Structure 1
Amino acid sequence: MSIAQRERQALVVAMSAAGPEAPTLCGTWTVRDLAAHLVVRERRPDAAPGILLKPFAGYLDSVQDKTARKPFDELLELVRTGPPWWSPLKPVDAMANLSEMFVHHEDVRRAAPDWAPRELSDADEAKLWSLVRRMAKMSYRKSPVALVLQTPDGRRVVAKDSSGAEVTLTGKPSELLLHAFGRDEVRLETGGPAEAVRSVLELDRSV
């Protein structure tokens, strides 16, 4: 079973435990809203482009709102079973859904006030590090200062190359990935001038 598949199953368990009206880290979305988003992304190719393309966002919202009115247990079952055989995501599930399932699993977990980081295997952290490396420059493209992401064991990737002040963010790949996806509920250590660090932490990191 791939990490994406394991995270999917764990996400469904977390959603069920939290309940449909529980908050998430996805803005104003509840767990029900997040489940509807995942279902539409994988099962409504006519509406999914609205996730990235603003001209289609209105149609996406209407489809997602209708989907969210399904019984909660039905939504969770649709998330659990993943993309159907005809979905464009089905052949690339292990790759395309790795970040999606991991990040949204944490969106549910870390919306709770008593959250704590999970202990992931070295192999899983290595997979997540590969995602950090691929998306670092895109996520931090708006950084006004030089930025390096690094792990406690010394792996590094330059997220923004610039003259002047340099900031470092140090943490496990899982924590760095969540920060790169715009989440602030992370455990990271920062290095660099205070004002430069502040500018990175307040950065719009939307992809």
Structure 2
Amino acid sequence: MTRHAWSERQLLCDELEQLGPDAPTLCEGWATRDLAAHLYVREGRPDLSIGAFVPLLAGRLEREQDRLARGDYSALVSRVRGGAPTWNPTSRPRVDELANLVEYFVHHEDVRRAQPGWEPRDLPEDLQQALWAALRRLARLMFRSVPTGVVLVAPGIGRHCAKLPDEHGTVILRGAPAELVLLAYGRADHARVELDGRADDIAALRSARLGLG
């Protein structure tokens, strides 16, 4: 099977190594060292990552993740590059592809697009198709807080109604699947997506909270 998630992981780690620990990312408040620590904790430290969901443990997660970020950066990136430990189901290729493709694609672009002079990559068709399939699965969750209807259009690939309107009309989002994924995950300022609809509906969509947060 094609392992796009694994490829994005390796490309991200290449970027992390090249840029060093203090380069900016699109993740607010995080440099490259903080992003690497997050990725390691997410897969390798469930005792800490539970703090993302349990408020009483959030402080411990933040302290330990910060400690990891201030440690040996090269070793940290190597841990991320090596993938999930064997006890983690995402160490299995099919689970990894399902669970990690969007995670590693988005964070790869978080690093790339925070640097001056970035341009979108020329992605292969099969990766765009994989991102489109993932976006269709996740779209209702990603756009749940948007008060408008949302229709996703990937020219030459497909069309998907992500959400019916609540208080407003419908906005059509048109772009390559990769760009639509980035917008859906709250990276609208760095996503090459066309928005079609009434001005007040577009403004309402732009002001809504997108993604998992």
**Total equivalences in the alignment:** 207
Q: Which of 137, 153, 175 in structure 1 is aligned with 2:156?
A: 153
Give 1:195 deviation, angstroms: 1.4
User: Which of 182, 188, 196 matches 2:193?
Assistant: 188
Structure 2 CA distance, aligned partners of 1:88 and 1:60?
22
Question: Of 103, 127, 132, which residue of structure 2 is paired with 1:129?
Answer: 132
**CA positional deviation for 1:206:** 3.0
Q: Distance in 2 between matches of 1:54 and 1:121?
A: 40
Q: d(CA) in 2 for partners of 1:171 and 1:151?
A: 5
Tell me the distance in 2 between the aligned counterparts of 1:154 and 1:130: 10
Contact 2:153 2:172 in 1 (8 A): yes
Aligned equivalent of 2:206: 201
**Alpha-carbon shift at residue 154 of structure 1 (Å):** 5.8
Q: Secondary structure at the match of 2:150?
A: strand
Q: List per-residue Cα deviations over 1:75-103 (Å, max 9, x = no partner).
A: 11111101111224323222211111111
Indicate which of 170, 174, 179 corresponds to 2:174: 170
**2:49 is the counterpart of 1:77:** no
Say yes or no: does 1:144 pair with 2:147: yes
> Aligned equivalents of 1:52 and 1:156: distance in 2?
33
Are 1:139 and 1:181, in contact at CA under 8 Å, matched by a contact in 2? yes
* C-alpha contact (below 8 Å) 1:40/1:63 kept by paired residues: no
Provide the rounded CA distance (Å) in 1 between the counterparts of 2:87 and 2:157: 42
Q: Which runs of 5+ in 2 are unaligned?
A: none
RMSD, matched Cα? 1.4
SS of aligned partner of 1:47: helix
Q: What is the TM-score with the length of structure 2 in the denominator?
A: 0.92
Partner of 1:3: 4
2:129–2:157: 8 Å Cα contact kept in structure 1? no
Supply the AA of the counterpart residue of 1:7. Answer: E
Equivalent-residue separation in structure 1 for 2:187 and 2:56 (angstroms): 26
* Structure 2 CA distance for aligned equivalents of residues 75 and 10 of structure 1: 15
Identity %: 43
1:35 is the counterpart of 2:36 = yes
